[in-house]
Amino acid sequence: MLVPERERYTIRRMDRPHIFVSDLRLAARVGVNPGEDETSQTVVLDIWVGAEDFEKAAASARLGDTVDYVGIARAARKVVTARHYPLVETLATRVAEAVLSRPGASWVRVRLQKLSCLRHASAAGVEVELRSRPAAAHPEPAPLASQGEQEIVIVGGGAAGMAAALWCHRLGHPALVIDAAEQLGGQLHLVHGQMRDLPAMEPMTGARLAGRLWRQFAAHGGRWCRARLEQLAPAEEDLRLTLKEQGRQELVARALILCTGVRRRELGVPGERELLGRGLLHTAARDTASLRGRRVVVVGGGDSACENALILADHGARVTLVHRRGQLTAQAQFQERIEASAAIDLQLDTRVLSFRGSGSDRLEAVELSGPDGSRMLPAEAALVRVGWLPQSEALQPGWLDPNGFVRADPEGRVRGERRVFAAGDLLGRMAPSVATAFGSAATAARAVVHLLEVG
């Protein structure tokens, strides 16, 4: 279960390097005296924040490796102006919680002063100090060779796979998770920006949500093996999985939930893989500060490409958005903002032919082919966002639709199979998200348990 809100914090002495914002003056509606619920008065905030890896930020000089003090001030302002607070204790705690939820924050101390509220005193107020509970260690994978016949196997340890494992445990049938990555969490580790559409949860990065999931997983004794699915042979009474850990091994299961998800689609042009991490970006959200004033090419025309282009432009980058079609496919609000932005040069009906680097092995230019022919566009960074591909290569061709996604009924049961289910992005649903991953995983887990208990 998720840690209850009031148990997420412990007191911490301020004995390490930190970031601070001093004398932040904001208009607040705070107090229990007559009129204080309607009239604003000035409060003064002093905020100290511990960074999870202060030394890393000092060495890299990247804003993405620390806690942005502009963001700290914005978070505090948003809380203070949201509503009336009867007690300064409540307001200070809410500010501390908002700041602590920012990426990289490990602890926070807030001093709140209410001015001119006492005779013969300049101010009165409160101090509160909170810290995140220490993250539990990532659960260690078990040797695949030590695993015998399994009741339920879940292939994929991303959001859907972890949720399916939690549901199977809750329903009394613990499952074994198989994942080829070094740690559980899947695509969540690629989400460096704040996810703001998580129902009933504060905005957080993908890595933070992954950490919450694996702490739940570890708390109930969850088991996982690091291996890659290579082949699957369905049968009437059991399933035989060929897995590759160090060598090839077979695993037998009574039922299977496929949560292998998707991976980013590549352009397949020269330089794309060679320059990854050398100017070709994994994500824009993590590197916005270092890209201020630089020339960045974003490739794609959907929501992800347009949103990243807007993020980069908002942070001062000079963006060229390249799309192979004559019209963007992103939602209307993104298209309107792209067209209105003076910092984004939109190039339609244009394809990327190659990414070019120099002897320093860094991206220097992007070769484009458009209505006016081929040309070299100087660029110091590039980001490819041209969609997703399902990770379904090891699955039976008859299970898949023309795009490679799994065909399944409303319970997640793979079409034509009795003991094979699927959940998450592998289903190719209209609204791929953490919410749909969790929901489809819960549905599949219930259907699997019903199959095992009832038949």
* Domain range annotation of the chain: 5-131, 144-264+388-454, 289-384
Nearest to 312 by CA among 340, 335, 283, 348: 283
Q: What is the pLDDT of residue 403?
A: 94
Low-confidence ranges of the chain (pLDDT < 70): 1-16, 52-57, 59-60, 64-65, 133-136, 235-236, 285-287, 359-360
132 with 107: CB under 8 angstroms? yes
H-helix segments, 12-125: 54-60, 69-80, 88-100
Is there a contact between 89 and 106 (Cβ–Cβ < 8 Å)? no
Beta carbons within 8 Å of 53's beta carbon, 6+ residues apart: 65, 104
Which tokens sit at 40?
């604003």
Architecture of domain 5-131: 2-Layer Sandwich (3.30)
pLDDT in tens, 112-158: 999 978 888 889 999 999 877 655 578 899 998 888 899 999 999 99
Cα radius of gyration (the chain): 25
Q: Which two tokens stand for residue 282?
A: 């994994």
Query: 144-264+388-454 in CATH: which number?
Result: 3.50.50.60
The class of domain 289-384 in CATH terms is alpha beta
* CA atoms of 299 and 323, how far apart (whole Å): 6
- Which DSSP category does 190 fall into? G
First vs last C-alpha separation in the chain: 29
Among the listed residues 218, 64, 225, 205, the one whose alpha carbon sits nearest the alpha carbon of residue 157: 225
- Say how many residues make up the chain: 455
347 contacts 309 by C-beta, under 8 angstroms = no
List b or e across 119-149, with b for residues whose CB sees 16 or more CB atoms inside 10 angstroms. Answer: eeeeeebbebbbbbeeeeebbebeebeebee
Both tokens of residue 202? 């504060």
A 10 A CB-CB count for 158 gives 29
The C-alpha atoms of residue 150 and residue 114 are separated, in whole angstroms, by 62
- Among residues 446, 315, 324, the alpha carbon closest in space to that of 385 is found at 324
pTM of the model: 0.69
Fold matches, 144-264+388-454 and 289-384: yes
Q: Give residue 63's pLDDT.
A: 73
Q: What is the pLDDT of residues 209-219, one digit of tens each?
A: 998 899 899 98
Query: Which residue intervals of 114-252 are DSSP H helices?
Result: 159-170, 206-219
pLDDT score at 422: 97
